[in-house]
Chain A
């Protein structure tokens, strides 16, 4: 584990974020304006954070999954299930806290299911989680009986639209989750074990790591994160939409993790950088919206920025930088 606190702030991801924000500012001069109204902050920057939360939270769980050389395609569908569970329970008259706990528990169960398929049946993660990606949306529709279940429960709505200490509630939840997960992963041995299993599962198992159990826990955690995201999205629209909640967000989450520098081949990972990746994606989305371009531009611009970031991270670029360093070193020795 590198010491994250000393990670230099100058890296392709933070440069990309600054560039995206500056471009947004040029296109929309009011971009950096933040105002205080009714006891909370408003402005495009806050909007970027708030809108970026669902993907950012998915990316927290996804980082751990990808670090084990896996992938979790089911998170979007799990969001839909979690929202559906919470919405149906409160409309059926159960207390809101119970609905929230049930939704989180269902998310964990979904993740554990994925984990068992991957760890013990040894199904390739992309296929194993595809099962729930497809079936999950069906399950969510069964729970909501095919309709959008709306609710007026104040707690659920607060999760999606409330505010705390001036910040939107989703942002607060994401920050707390980020801090807790980084602490959990880095102050325990879990981070090391995840990286070991991702680098070489056979060797890690022979070194005494219970890799099956670890994989189940990691996928379970990803399901838990997806359930939180699902609650936030449901709270935001005051209803559970089984068809559209979290649709395609699994892909944005994978993208956020990869932009954050975690390799799809597993191993080294950084949860904080993945969250940064999610913010970059959202900054682009918001920028295009506020600058008045038609949203169709969104996807194309996104692709362009992503190619830029990956070029900066590519082995070719790394080699070029290394080569220049080496040449300088040779020149220094020669002189």
Chain B
């Protein structure tokens, strides 16, 4: 594949690209070349400059130095629309389409075939079906896009991007919210596009996926180019080393951390449930233990977490702290009991984007103190500074808006927000989703440290290896119901998978009988 280099020139190229934000250089003389018919993985820790580079290549940012070349000629993209007109399409992790319009309308939005000014619905539906069949998708194109799974929406977004642009396709963490089968489906589509000669940039945090599908990889660190290599010559350790600039040691995979001598439960949920959200469940969480929650997306994991934090209210059951029954009518009440909650969707429910890192860290503590016991600026600085250092939050300044930080750092800010309240029970919903290897390791380390310090933790995660490594017990969710509680030797990925997979067997059995 490397030999093609000479007779396969770059479709899209960045030469010596520089981008400056305030005082810092987000990109410092980065080169990047993309060939026809290749899948090119772009890797780096959060804050390495991946997103910035992509935004320059797709016209969302203008470079402050260097140049972008399209088919060997310098080119200037005024905005993403302009880049699209030049053949460059982007599909983001969050599908940027209209969930309340039909699949067909989404595919043809802005370029609907019309007659006498009227949209020809039958025509676009026919074309939409033809288009999607090429991607192996046979769905009702009249149905609203939002009724389909994220994977289907993702493929629709890809189909639209390829139709509109056709030369280069940028996939920005497309697999972050997909399950395994859906990822495979997506990869089939990507491979097919590659055969057709599309040049594809693939950004992800999953190393497995990089190796499964990519031809070459470009690695950035701290805004600089570390290297571009064919993947065939690289090992996983090589890639991780290039990304981090050092050999990292993952937290040792201690399986089945011993269940602590059965101390009294810190918090106990007895037959708590909410109609339409989650069936009644019972669970005790003790100090000094991590209860892992496994299950597919939509299995009721997040619903359980929200009930436990008072964000939604149980319509049945009892909650006890110590031996006292309590009611959790609001997050504020739960926080008063020493609870904390890192939600699954950082952007929508976690960060206060326009506010500073400092304010984001102190907000929960200040909320606990109330309206009139205000922390002054110096106290805020001290608290924020302490936790930023403890968790290695990388921000140019604690006064910068938190929305400018990378995903991993934002996640650490939210973790810091709760640690500042000195909690005794922390609920973490997918704390490591969509963040880089370094931040990932830092968060796993923090979970272990907090457990040793005697906190009670409940951690929801899709990453089985990870959850097995730090959990003392694992509960498995399926179909909005708690279906298993695993302890001891049963805490291993294959048992969890069996517990989750039981669903599919029953489903197919039902399908067969129907």
Taking beta carbons and an 8 Å cutoff, which residues of A are in contact with B?
1, 3, 187-190, 192-193, 195-196, 199-200, 202-210, 267-268, 326-327, 329-330
6 additional A-B pairs beyond A189-B375, A199-B354, beta carbons within 8 Å, are A208-B331, A208-B332, A208-B367, A210-B330, A326-B20, A327-B64
- Tell me the complex Cα distance, A327–B18, Å: 11
Q: Which residue of chain B lies nearest to A263 when distances are taken between CB atoms in the complex?
A: B354
Residues of A within 8 A of B371 (CB): 188-190, 193
A-chain residues with CB within 8 Å of residue B351 when the two chains form the complex = 200, 203
- Across the interface, B372 reaches (CB within 8 A) one of A189, A210, A267, A268, namely A189
Known A-B contacts A189-B369, A208-B368; the reply to A326 vs B353 at CB < 8 A is no
Judged by a CB distance under 8 angstroms, whether B355 is at the interface is: yes
Question: Which 10 pairs, one residue from A and one from B, show the smallest C-beta to C-beta distance?
Answer: A208-B367, A208-B335, A189-B374, A207-B364, A199-B352, A267-B354, A208-B332, A209-B367, A207-B363, A199-B354
Residues of A contacting B: mostly: helix
Q: Which of B308-353 contact A (CB under 8 A)?
A: 309, 311, 330-332, 335, 341, 343, 348-353
Residues of A within 8 A of B368 (CB): 208
Q: Tell me if A3 and B20 are in contact (CB < 8 A).
A: no
Whether the pair B363, A206 counts as a contact (CB closer than 8 A) is no
Instruction: Say whether, besides A206-B311, A329-B20, A1 and B359 are in contact (CB < 8 Å).
Output: yes
| Shortest distance between the CB of A167 and any CB in chain B (Å) | 31
Contact B364 A208 (CB under 8 A): yes
- Chain A: CB-nearest residue to B358: A1
The answer on a CB contact under 8 Å between B354 and A207 is: no
Contacts of B335 in A (CB 8 A): 208
* CB-defined contacts of B363 to chain A, threshold 8 Å: 192, 196, 204, 207, 209
How many inter-chain contacts with C-beta < 8 Å in the A-B complex? Answer: 89
Q: Are B20's CB and A330's CB within 8 A? A: yes
Q: Is the CB of A199 within 8 A of B353?
A: yes
B interface residue numbers (CB < 8 A to A) = 18, 20, 64-65, 309, 311, 330-332, 335, 341, 343, 348-355, 359, 363-364, 366-375, 377, 417
**In the complex, what's the smallest C-beta–C-beta distance from A311 to chain B, in angstroms?**
21
User: Across the interface, do A196 and B349 meet the contact criterion of CB distance under 8 Å?
Assistant: no
CB–CB A209/B349 < 8 A: no
Q: Please state if B359 and A192 are interface contacts (CB–CB under 8 Å).
A: yes
Residue of B at shortest CB range from A214?
B371
A8 to B212, CA, bound (A): 55
User: Are the CB atoms of B64 and A326 closer together than 8 Å?
Assistant: yes
* Chain B residue, CB-CB nearest to A2: B399
Contacting pair A206 B343 (CB below 8 A): yes
Given contacts A195-B355, A208-B332, A326-B64, contact A203 B349 (CB under 8 A): yes
Report whether B366 and A189 are in contact in the complex, using a CB–CB cutoff of 8 Å.
yes
Chain B residues whose CB sits within 8 angstroms of the CB of A192 once the complex forms: 355, 359, 363, 366, 374
Interchain CB contact under 8 A, A267 and B331? no
Q: Which residues from chain B contact A200 at a C-beta distance below 8 Å?
A: 348-349, 351-353
Distance to closest chain B CB from A204 (angstroms) = 7
Distance between B28 CB and nearest chain A CB, rounded to angstroms? 10
Q: What is the minimal beta-carbon distance from B404 to any residue of chain A, in angstroms?
A: 14
> Is there an interface contact between A3 and B331, defined as CB atoms closer than 8 Å?
no
- Give min CB distance, B22 to chain A, whole Å: 9
18 contacts between A and B (CB under 8 A): A1-B359, A192-B355, A192-B359, A193-B366, A193-B367, A195-B354, A195-B355, A199-B353, A199-B355, A200-B351, A203-B348, A204-B363, A206-B350, A207-B331, A208-B335, A208-B364, A208-B367, A268-B354
- The interface residues of chain A lying within 8 Å CB-to-CB of B343 are 203, 206
Q: Which of B350, B352, B364 has the most CB of A within 10 A?
A: B352
Task: Please measure, in the bound complex, the distance between the C-alpha atom of A203 and the C-alpha atom of B348, giving whole angstroms.
Answer: 7
User: In the complex, what residues of B have CB within 8 A of residue A196's CB?
Assistant: 352, 355, 359, 363
The answer to whether B64 touches A330 (Cβ under 8 A) is: yes
Q: Which residues of B contact A199 (CB under 8 A)?
A: 352-355
Docked pose: A241 CA to B311 CA in angstroms = 47
Rounded to whole angstroms, the CA-CA distance of A3 and B311 in the bound complex is: 34
A190 CB contacts on chain B under 8 angstroms: 371
Q: CB-CB < 8 A to A208: which residues of B?
A: 331-332, 335, 364, 367-368
CA distance A288 to B348 in the complex (A): 48
B352 partner, pick from A189, A203, A326, beta carbons under 8 A: A203
What's the nearest-Cβ distance from chain A to residue B46, in Å? Answer: 20
Residues of B within 8 A of A210 (CB): 330, 332
Which residues of A are found within 8 Å of B20, using beta-carbon distances? 326, 329-330
Q: Determine the residue in chain B with the shortest Cβ distance to A329.
A: B20
With A189-B366, A206-B341, A209-B367 in contact, is A3–B377 under 8 Å at CB? yes
Is B370's CB under 8 angstroms from A189's CB? Answer: yes
| Whole-angstrom CA separation of A204 from B360 in the bound complex | 10
Q: Which of B309, B350, B369 has the most CB of A within 10 A?
A: B350
Q: How far is the CA of A1 from the CA of B375 in the complex (A)?
A: 12
Q: In the assembled complex, which residues on chain B have CB atoms less than 8 Å from the CB atom of A329?
A: 20
- Separation of A329 and B371 alpha carbons in the complex (Å): 42
- Separation of A224 and B331 alpha carbons in the complex (Å): 30
Cα A327 to Cα B62 in complex, Å, equals 12
Return the chain B residue nearest A267 by Cβ.
B354
* Cβ of B225 to closest chain A Cβ, rounded Å: 18
- Assess the B366–A206 pair: CB atoms within 8 A: no
- Chain B residues, Cβ within 8 Å of A206: 309, 311, 331, 341, 343, 349-350
Which A residues are CB-close (under 8 A) to B355? 192, 195-196, 199, 267
C-alpha spacing A188/B351, complex, angstroms: 22
List chain A residues, Cβ under 8 A from B377: 1, 3
Contacts of B374 in A (CB 8 A): 187-189, 192
Q: Which residues of A contact B364 (CB under 8 A)?
A: 207-208
Complexed CA–CA distance, A170 and B65 (Å): 56
A8–B460 Cα distance when bound, in Å, is: 47
